[in-house]
């Protein structure tokens, strides 16, 4: 194994409480009182349909920031939120740039970096990954993923373009994804990568701590992953 490729939303960062916090900070001053976590969950639920429009070729490849904005517009009516001022909508869309890593991530990252190349392979755009890396002091070797590939996971091209960027055969890359991210795990396997699952039962209500499909490596968190890879 030469490189660890990370899914980001849910695997490295806690989108649910971060987006809930940001939604409250943006919408409460406008007089809204919502279940902020439910709002975050509803926003995230638009993720798969949002991606699918790009993957199917219905709309051209767009940065995830753009997709997040469309997803936001779609859920507002369900929460009885009217049209937002442009500056609020734009800033709220950037909530996804201001998420915190799970507590084990920072601790394990430098250890993992000693023995492996590290890169995010997320559907998030480069600037989004850059902001999350800065905020959480995560040192990646490169920002890989959807924007590099020009398509969205779980299309094989996204995983393969990451391996190619590092000049590695897919089997020398370990895709690290939350246990409940079955599509990501299957996508990476189909592209010939090795896969590791991380239990993230806190990601959202009902998230699986155990993968539904076979994986090469199963860890509780990144500290456990580092130990299992003998870098801990």
Q: Which is nearer to its own copies, 67 or 165 (CB)?
A: 165
Q: Does 138 bind its own copies (CB under 8 A)?
A: no
Q: Of 148, 185, 215, 225, which one interacts with its own copies (CB under 8 A)?
A: 148
93-132 binders of its own copies (CB under 8 A): 117, 125-127, 129-130
Based on the number of CB atoms within 10 Å of its own CB, is 200 exposed (0-12), middle (13-18) or buried (19 or more)?
buried
Span near its own copies by CB under 8 A; candidates 84-92, 138-146, 187-195, 196-204:
138-146
Q: How far apart are CB 178 and its own copies at their closest, in Å?
A: 24
Query: How many residues lie near its own copies (CB under 8 A)?
Result: 19
Residue 100's nearest CA partner among 140, 139, 132 is 132
| Helix residue spans in 5-152 (DSSP H) | 15-27, 36-45, 47-55, 64-75, 86-93, 103-115, 126-136, 146-149
| Spatial distance between the Cα atoms of 220 and 168, rounded to a whole number of angstroms | 27
Based on the number of CB atoms within 10 Å of its own CB, is 88 exposed (0-12), middle (13-18) or buried (19 or more)?
middle
Backbone dihedral angles phi then psi of residue 177, each to the nearest 5 degrees: -145, 155
| Spatial distance between the Cα atoms of 89 and 120, rounded to a whole number of angstroms | 26
Q: How far apart are CB 207 and its own copies at their closest, in Å?
A: 29
Q: Does 165 bind its own copies (CB under 8 A)?
A: yes
Q: Which is nearer to its own copies, 127 or 182 (CB)?
A: 127
Binding mask 61-80 for its own copies (x = CB under 8 A): ----x---------------
State the DSSP code for 178.
E
Q: How far apart are CB 219 and its own copies at their closest, in Å?
A: 25
Q: Of 33, 82, 85, 139, which one interacts with its own copies (CB under 8 A)?
A: 139
Q: Which is nearer to its own copies, 89 or 227 (CB)?
A: 89
Q: Which is nearer to its own copies, 141 or 216 (CB)?
A: 141
Q: How far apart are CB 35 and its own copies at their closest, in Å?
A: 31
Residues 6+ apart with CB under 8 A from 44: 9, 15, 16, 19, 204
| Spatial distance between the Cα atoms of 22 and 43, rounded to a whole number of angstroms | 12
**Contact set with its own copies (CB under 8 A):** 65, 117, 125-127, 129-130, 133-134, 139, 141-144, 147-148, 165-167
């Amino acid at each position: 194994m030469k490189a660890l490729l990370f899914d980001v939303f849910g695997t490295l960062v806690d989108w649910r409480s971060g987006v809930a916090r940001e939604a409250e900070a943006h919408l409460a001053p406008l007089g809204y009182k919502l279940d902020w976590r439910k709002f975050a969950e509803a926003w995230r639920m638009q993720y798969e349909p949002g991606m699918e429009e790009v993957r199917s070729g219905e709309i051209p490849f767009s940065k995830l920031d753009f997709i997040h904005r469309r997803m936001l517009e779609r859920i507002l009516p369900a929460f009885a939120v009217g049209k937002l001022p442009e500056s609020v909508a734009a800033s709220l869309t950037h909530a996804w740039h201001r998420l915190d890593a799970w507590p084990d991530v920072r601790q394990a990252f430098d250890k993992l970096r000693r023995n492996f190349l590290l890169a995010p392979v997320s559907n998030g755009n480069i600037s989004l990954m850059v902001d999350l890396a800065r905020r959480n002091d995560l040192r990646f070797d490169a920002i890989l993923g959807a924007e590099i590939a020009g398509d969205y996971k779980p299309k094989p091209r996204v995983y393969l373009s990451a391996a190619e960027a590092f000049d590695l055969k897919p089997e020398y890359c370990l895709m690290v994804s939350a246990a409940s991210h079955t599509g990501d795990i299957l996508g990476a396997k189909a592209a010939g990568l090795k896969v590791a699952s991380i239990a993230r039962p806190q990601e959202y209500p009902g998230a699986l701590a155990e993968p539904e499909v076979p994986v090469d490596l199963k860890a509780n968190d990144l500290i456990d992953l580092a130990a299992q890879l003998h870098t801990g």
